[in-house]
Amino acid sequence: MQKKIVVLPGDGIGPEVIAEAIKVLDEVASLYGHQFEYEYDTVGGKALDEFGVPLREETLERCKQADAVLLGAVGGPKWDTLPGHLRPEMALLGLRKGLGLFANLRPVEVFGPVVETSTIKKEVVEGVDLLVVRELTGGLYFGKKERSTSAEGLDQAIDELIYNEHEVERIAKVAFEAARVRRKKVTSIDKANVLESGRLWREVVTKVHQQYQDVELEHMLVDNAAMQLIRNPKQFDVLVTENMFGDILSDEASMLAGSIGLMPSASLSDEAGKGMYEPVHGSAPDIAGQGKANPLATILSAAMLLRYSFGLQEEATLIEDAVKSVLDAGVRTGDLATSGESITGTEQMGEYIVQELRKSKVTQ
Ligand code: IPM
Ligand code: MN
């Protein structure tokens, strides 16, 4: 198989974790005889420094032409005081909107051996296997933003929250389809007791459900969902929700797995195979450049890329199994180590995964 991947390392720990994911992809390519061609480009704070904008038109164009996009992270304190449209995060939003990536899949699987890392009781998190399906191109993130002055002369700000039925319908379908090949349950999360957009959300999801009678549908208010995620996360299979709620709940859910450093994501459009893959964590400027970051979320994102964009199921599973084996063997980056455990660096962790891939491919 011959494929072109645009690689956007970005800021902070982005370049470090991306380097390890590329090592892993290269190893998979050589084990299976694929050819992955990488086109590197600059986004986020680095692009602001070099080109004065977080995302260049030509970068977006390059991503549109590619078979898939792999992204590290964007942002950092250096660019935090810039006006909204010039923040590094705008690169992410521009890519999501520009590539039509409305469906964001964020799986949370609690890997047995790191169950001790979670701050939540072992019996609560052990065996958690859920999928957050986050709407990614609508809602507050993309509504009109405005500053004005109130009648009393006070500075005020407006963020507009709009959803239309088509946007809700297509993300609901993604959730039901995903549930069909999992445990057949969808929890749709909204704030229908207060927000009109929440009431539309609930109506449309209920309507789409008529085509998926083999899947159980439950509606849950977002505040309750935040509580249930900690109280009894095993009740969930697929959670589907709007952009902002999905952002917040997926960070919360990541802590079930012990560390956000283990959380991959896929962002998909309705164009078959097109997608962008990135770790859920940010650029972590506090540990950038020190070789401390956990590369597993990015490595697992590369596995999702192989699965969803290239249809390479076996290769994806090989990577996921390698991650489990290495964690089983007790290898820990700083975010995963409990006191007394020795700490492995970013590069070394990547190296362990590569070695594990070689070993397991040979014994297959
Ligand atoms: C995420 C991030 C982004 C978001 C930020 C960096 C814009 O937190 O992917 O979850 O809010 O979507
Ligand atoms: Mn987030």
CA of 75, closest atom in ligand 1: 6
Whole-number pLDDT of residue 258? 86
- The CA 281 to ligand 2 mean position distance, Å, reads 7
Which string of b and e fits 252-288 if b means at least 16 CB within 10 Å? Answer: ebbbbbbbbbbbbbbbbbeeeebbbbbbbbbbbbebb
pLDDT at 39: 98
- Catalytic annotation present for 321: no
Q: For ligand 1, atom 5, which residue shows the shortest CA distance?
A: 89
Q: Give domain status of residue 87, yes or no.
A: yes
Pocket test for ligand 1, best of 43, 55, 74, 89 (most atoms within 8 A of CB): 89
Q: Could you say which of 223, 270, 286, 328 is catalytic?
A: 223
Tokens found for residue 160: 């507009």
Task: Look at residues 257, 284, 306 and tell me which one is the last residue of a structural domain.
Answer: 257
Domain end, chosen from 218, 238, 257, is at 257
244 C-alpha to ligand 1 centroid (Å): 9
Exactly one of 38, 129, 184, 251 is catalytic; name it: 251
Predicted pLDDT at 117: 85
Whether ligand 1 lies within 6 angstroms of the CB of 89 is answered as: yes
Residues 242 and 314 both lie in one domain:
no
322 plus 202 within the same structural domain:
no
* 179/215 same-domain check: yes
Tokens of 97: 């909107």
Give the closest residue (by CA) to ligand 1 atom 10: 247
pLDDT of residue 340: 87
Range of the domain at 170: 119-257
pLDDT score at 299: 98
Instruction: Please report the pLDDT score of residue 120 as a whole number.
Output: 93
The answer to whether the CB of 247 is under 6 A from ligand 1 is yes
pLDDT of residue 320: 97
114 lies in some domain: no
Count of Cβ atoms closer than 10 Å to residue 154 Cβ: 8
Contact 143, 159 (CB under 8 A): yes
- Domain with residue 166: its CATH number is 3.40.718.10
Is 91 buried (19+), middle (13-18) or exposed (0-12) by CB count in 10 A?
A: buried
247 is catalytic: yes
113 in a structural domain: no
Is 341 a domain residue?
yes
Q: Is the CB–ligand 1 distance for residue 92 below 6 Å?
A: yes
Q: 152 with 88, same domain?
A: no
- Residue 111 counted as domain residue: no
Tokens standing for residue 54 = 């977080």
Asked if residue 324 belongs to a domain, the reply is yes
141 & 100 share domain: no
Is residue 110 domain-resident?
no
- Look at residue 64 and tell me if it is in a domain: yes
Clarify whether residues 247 and 272 are in a common domain: no
**Average pLDDT per consecutive 10 residues, the chain (364 residues; last block may be shorter):** 97 98 98 98 98 98 98 97 93 97 96 85 95 98 96 97 98 98 98 98 98 98 98 98 97 91 96 94 96 98 98 97 95 92 96 96 76
Amino acid at 321: D
Catalytic residue among 191, 274, 292, 308: 191
Output the CA 268–ligand 1 centroid distance in Å. Answer: 15
For ligand 1, atom 7, name the residue with the nearest CA. 89
Looking at the fold, whether 134 and 214 belong to one and the same domain comes out as yes
251 labelled catalytic: yes
How high is the pLDDT of residue 249?
Answer: 97
Shared-domain flag, residues 139 and 246: yes
Helices (H), the chain: 14-32, 45-51, 57-65, 89-98, 122-125, 165-180, 196-209, 222-231, 243-254, 296-308, 313-328, 346-362
- What spacing in Å lies between the alpha carbon of 247 and ligand 1's midpoint? 6
How far is residue 147's CA from residue 282's CA, in Å, rounded to a whole number? Answer: 27
Q: Give yes or no: residues 238 and 151 share one domain.
A: yes
The domain boundary, picked from 228, 257, 286, lies at: 257
Let me know: does 296 contact 323? Beta carbons within 8 Å.
yes
**Same domain (yes/no): 351, 247:** no
Split into its structural domains, the chain has a count of 2
Q: Residue 161 and residue 150: Cα distance in Å, rounded?
A: 20
From the CA of 282, how far away is ligand 2's center (Å)?
8
Position 333 scores a pLDDT of 97
- Nearest atom in ligand 1 to the alpha carbon of residue 250 is 10
Q: Distance from the CA of 37 to the center of ligand 2, in angstroms? A: 29
49 classed as catalytic: no
241 with 188, same domain: the answer is yes
Q: What is the pLDDT of residue 219?
A: 99
Q: Are residues 230 and 351 in the same domain?
A: no
